[in-house]
Amino acid sequence: MAKKTHYRVLRSTVVLALASDAYASIRTPELAAAVDAVVAANYQFDQVADELLELVFVTFDDEFAKRVLGEFRFVPSRENVRVHPKCEAICTLCGKGDSKEEGGNLDFIRFEYRLNNDVSGNEVWCGKTCIIKYGLRVDGAATSEEARGLLERSMREALRQWEINEWRLSHNDHAGMPEEYQRFRGAWYARPYNERRMLQYRVELMIGGLAATSDDARNRAARAFKNAVSFYLRNGFLTEAKQHAWDRAREITASDSEGVALMQRALREPASTLAVLIAHYRAKQADSISH
């Protein structure tokens, strides 16, 4: 490489070389001292002694850079993408978010992509643009457009997983509702069909929306809650609309302790309790309509 080589190109080569088998195979004490000086200066080459910098330029020529780049690959997977919601990451290769040269390279990145080196066993995290710019291998891609598509798909999957994890952290009781719902449902299927239909109707109305003012509204609330639970079991989190249905059900079960107790008793003793349970709901419906 000539000494006027673009700053980011040389920085990227050095970063990848440090994690490569190609560099390990030619490393000498003199070269190691020169590379260490570059890293210690945070890749501000004007702060590195001329003789050390010259050794780096001479050694890291185009042929060597090609060997280094050939060792790395990105495996499309959400596990190989890190999400930084506050856009606080630095691209290790080009220095975006950390560059002291060429001005205007101070924007941080939101997503980091893991490059694996199967030869050395090392890994490097960087931004998507550098993977495309330097032609780094992306498994399953024959063109840069295919590579970009796989990178973006991995990013979307990683972002969705991050959103799921964040939702779970802010709803640390999320696992309880499906279990409770399934526990309530489990007792129905061992009963005769007609009896089960009657119990199911009353139980799900209680869970789904006792405060509604009509049977249609209560049925809609019950269905919304069932759909929310089904969505959670499939996806591991809830959207805003399904979260509303879930929260509404929790409010109702918390505020209607008498109804919950009657429902649980009805599941155990349907013949003796069903009439009381129905009367309870009728009274609540009448009270709701009167208000």
Q: What is the pLDDT of residues 99-157, one digit of tens each?
A: 444 444 457 889 999 999 999 999 999 999 999 999 999 999 999 999 999 999 999 99
pLDDT digit of tens for each residue in the chain (291 aa)?
344 445 667 889 999 999 999 999 999 999 999 999 999 998 888 889 999 989 998 898 889 999 999 999 999 999 999 999 888 888 999 887 654 444 444 578 899 999 999 999 999 999 999 999 999 999 999 999 999 999 999 999 999 999 888 888 888 777 776 666 665 555 444 455 555 555 555 555 554 444 343 455 555 656 666 777 778 778 888 888 788 777 766 665 555 555 555 555 544 554 455 555 556 656 665 665 555
Neighbours of 10 (CB within 10 A): 20
d(CA 22, CA 1): 17
Report the relative pairing of strands 137-138 and 72-74 from DSSP bridges.
parallel
CB 177 within 8 Å of CB 250 = yes
Phi-psi region of 126 (alpha: psi -120 to 50; beta: other; left: phi over 0): beta
pLDDT value of residue 4: 44
28 burial (CB, 10 Å; 0-12 / 13-18 / 19+) is: exposed
